[in-house]
């Protein structure tokens, strides 16, 4: 039971670690830069 609860906890901690690293590197800005313009390839006209 303990292990069963520890796995999601470990995954959440890993997620927080990755998010923190991404935030520290300013990666949300990269996501925004890509998403703020129409991606012509994505809609099939690029």
Q: Which residues bind other proteins (CB under 8 A)?
A: 1-4, 7-8, 11-12, 14-23, 25, 27-32, 34-46
Beta carbons within 8 Å of 8's beta carbon, 6+ residues apart: none
CB of 6 to other proteins, least distance (A): 10
Q: For residues 18 and 14, give the distance between their C-alpha atoms in angstroms, rounded to a whole number.
A: 6
Least distance to other proteins, CB of residue 14, Å = 6
Q: How far apart are the first and last CA of the chain?
A: 52
Smallest gap from residue 26 Cβ to other proteins (A) = 9
């Amino acid at each position: 039971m303990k292990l069963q609860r520890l796995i999601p906890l470990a995954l959440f901690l890993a997620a927080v670690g990755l998010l923190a690293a991404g935030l520290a590197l300013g990666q949300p800005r990269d996501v925004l830069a890509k998403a703020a313009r129409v991606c012509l390839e994505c809609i099939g006209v690029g």
